[in-house]
A and B are shown apart, each in its own frame.
Chain A
Amino acid sequence: MKPSDKLGRWVGRIVRQAVVILATLMSLFPVYFMVVSAFKTRGEYIANKWGLPTTPILDNFAIAFAGEKFLIRFANSTILTVGSVGISLIIACLAAYAFARMDFPGKRAIFNVLLSLMVVPPVVMLVPLFVSMVRLKLVNTYPGTILIYVGLLLPFSVYLMTNFFRTIPREIMEAAHIDGASSFGVFWRIMMPLSAPAVITLIVVNALWVWNELLIALVFMQKDELKTLMVGITALRSKHYVDIPVTMAGLFIATLPIVVLYMFGQKYFIRGLVSGAVK
């Protein structure tokens, strides 16, 4: 090998490492900024924005918890997330079982429609849904908003579960049928226990989506005591006087459930995204 080749390879390695490290630092900086600011006093934040807190304090978290109906908002977000993820999971599993293992007229057409609905932007549905919900007296109610979320989550959920169910060998089902199991029995006793990884994927992906959602929550949960955490957070921006360290502590708490959920289901989460996109 010529010395120039060796040098080129060495430079290449350095460039690569440098690019990736730079990108990583950029990815992490806002998170770092949020975390360190949350532990600073206001005075220290103004004097020292970049550095680590010299004397970390926890007061900001106490103030954030106490202020602006934080706990109510947290509870609202939790109710909507658990409700819509749970209901959409049940419906999606049943529907996916039908798509994967039963024959009925128009199956392919319905499945294709479902696929194209995966990326319909919710903003398009906002106005007519609002009109319908007003008529049904479902604006500012948990069931109304959960219903909308369930509808928006279903296309991806059914798609993911159908793909997974198709990978379960038919022979297992047929054996159970011969042993006298009903369709529902096969679904409940055989398909579901085998589908744990797909179910976890779905729960993680959907829960993140609902927790982070803003537009629907903004329009359909307008009453102050019904606002979600994300809606509550956006209100902070427009205030003239903002205690930034306390805000950062609030953001930190709002992000924590997501980071925990992600760490718990990281493998499943990435698998879910990839299977939704790549196949």
Chain B
Amino acid sequence: MTVALLFVFGYPVVRLIMMSFQRTSKGQEVFVGLTNYMALFQDEVFIRAVRNNLTLVLNVPIMVAAALLLAIFLFERIRGWKIYQTTLFLPYLLPIVVVGLIFSYIFQLSGVLNEALIAIGLPQLALDWLGSPKLALWTIMFVIIWKEVGLGVVLFLARLMSVEEELFDAARIDGASWWRIQWHITIPQLSTVIEFFTVISVITMLSWVFNYVYVMTAGGPGNSTMVTELYVYLQGFRYNQMNLAAAASVLILVITGILIFVQFRLRERAGEEETFA
């Protein structure tokens, strides 16, 4: 197992860092210092990609809030909550590629959404959702939220189910309002799961959104939806700029590395009571 892990994770990281400081010249790898990194920071497309990834992080608070609200409502055992749980989770399950393609037909200029908007008398809202550089990123953000909220709902609900009912009952008997119960009981009880979901989602927004962008816009129109992953893919496998792609990968690794460490500490803290046997 260690061999497989080293092959897939260990050795590549070393290679990656070496490559990011090299350039190929006459078939030889030559050390060029920070040249690749300088080139990245001068590349408008890369800057755009980083900015877009950061914009995507704005999704996280929306996802946490929506998942929290839905999980609380389902936990209050509204009629049919089990069916709702299953259907709300469905998007998380579907392949991003399939979802992305379906949504690109929904959001087409002559797609089903715009037809509906025109039919209800709002033609001024029938926009080119994926074809306009101003809108495309926001449309993709909507699809990402649509797909990822279900995970939050399931995680939060699972945690809530294991909270002792008496806590809620006691608060209700004391006449606490709905808001006070959520604020003083539900959210503190969920805090570790909320932290976990938040960190995981930030990591997702920074480094797991390739599929969405590749399928729906391929970075366009005019690089307006470029993200760092797509940049690495294009530089490395379309334009044959492996060293530039390596440098960009190192930057992604550093940023997600910090987050992975945070996530790891949270996990450790959550498992503190459980001793490592």
Residues of A within 8 A of B (CB): 12-13, 16-17, 19-20, 23-24, 26-28, 30-31, 33-34, 37, 49-50, 91-92, 94-95, 100, 108, 110-112, 114-117, 119-121, 123-132, 147-148, 150-152, 154-155, 158, 166, 208, 211-212, 214-215, 218-219, 230, 233-234, 236-238, 244, 247-248, 251, 254-255, 258-259, 262, 266, 270, 273-274, 277-279
Contact B256 A112 (CB under 8 A): no
Binds A, one of B38-46, B84-92, B166-174: B84-92
Q: How far is the CA of A27 from the CA of B151 in the complex (A)?
A: 13
Closest 5 CB pairs of A and B: A151-B8, A121-B207, A128-B12, A128-B15, A212-B95
Contact A258 B95 (CB under 8 A): yes
- Say how far B14's CB is from chain A's closest CB, in angstroms: 8
Instruction: Provide the B210-227 mask, 1 if CB < 8 A to any CB of A, else 0.
Output: 110011101000000000
- Say how far B88's CB is from chain A's closest CB, in angstroms: 5
Q: Which of B84, B102, B150, B256 has the most CB of A within 10 A?
A: B102
Contact B207 A277 (CB under 8 A): no
Residues in B with CB closer than 8 Å to A34 are: 98, 102
Contact B5 A114 (CB under 8 A): yes
Question: Could you give 15 example pairs across A and B, Cβ below 8 Å?
Answer: A16-B73, A19-B69, A19-B73, A24-B84, A26-B146, A116-B261, A124-B253, A124-B256, A126-B232, A127-B236, A214-B211, A234-B214, A237-B104, A254-B98, A277-B155
Residues in B with CB closer than 8 Å to A148 are: 8
Contact B200 A251 (CB under 8 A): no
Q: How large is the interface on B (under 10, 10 to 19, 20 to 34, 35 or more residues)?
A: 35 or more
Contact B95 A17 (CB under 8 A): no
Contact A124 B203 (CB under 8 A): no
For window 80-111 of chain B, which residues contact chain A by CB distance below 8 Å?
A: 81, 84, 86-91, 93-99, 101-106, 111
CB < 8 Å A-B pair total: 238
Binds A, one of B55-63, B133-141, B264-272: B264-272
Q: Is the CB of B178 closer than 8 A to any CB of chain A?
A: yes
- Say how far B97's CB is from chain A's closest CB, in angstroms: 5
Residues in A with CB closer than 8 Å to B73 are: 16, 19-20
Contact B4 A150 (CB under 8 A): yes
Given A110-B2, A148-B8, A30 contacting B159 (CB threshold 8 A):
no
Among B97, B104, B237, B249, point to the contact of A219 (Cβ < 8 A): B237
Q: Is the CB of B183 closer than 8 A to any CB of chain A?
A: no
Contact A30 B106 (CB under 8 A): yes
Given A27-B87, A124-B252, A237 contacting B158 (CB threshold 8 A):
no
Residues in B with CB closer than 8 Å to A132 are: 7, 11-12, 15
Q: Of all chain B residues, which has the CB nearest A275?
A: B158
Q: How far is the CA of A156 from the CA of B216 in the complex (A)?
A: 29
Q: How far is the CA of A212 from the CA of B99 in the complex (A)?
A: 11
Q: How far is the CA of A270 from the CA of B19 in the complex (A)?
A: 40
- Say how far A70's CB is from chain B's closest CB, in angstroms: 14
Contact B78 A17 (CB under 8 A): yes
Q: A33-B106, A150-B8 known; 10 other A-B pairs, CB under 8 Å?
A: A20-B84, A23-B70, A119-B256, A123-B233, A124-B16, A125-B12, A127-B242, A148-B8, A254-B95, A278-B196
Residues in B with CB closer than 8 Å to A120 are: 9, 253, 256, 260
Instruction: Provide the B6-46 mask, 1 if CB < 8 A to any CB of A, else 0.
Output: 01110111011001000000000000000000000000000
Given A13-B78, A151-B9, A214-B211, A128 contacting B277 (CB threshold 8 A):
no
Q: How far is the CA of A114 from the CA of B8 in the complex (A)?
A: 12
Among B4, B69, B87, B94, point to the contact of A24 (Cβ < 8 A): B87
Q: How far is the CA of A91 from the CA of B4 in the complex (A)?
A: 10
Contact B233 A126 (CB under 8 A): yes
Q: How far is the CA of A211 from the CA of B93 in the complex (A)?
A: 11
- Say how far B12's CB is from chain A's closest CB, in angstroms: 4
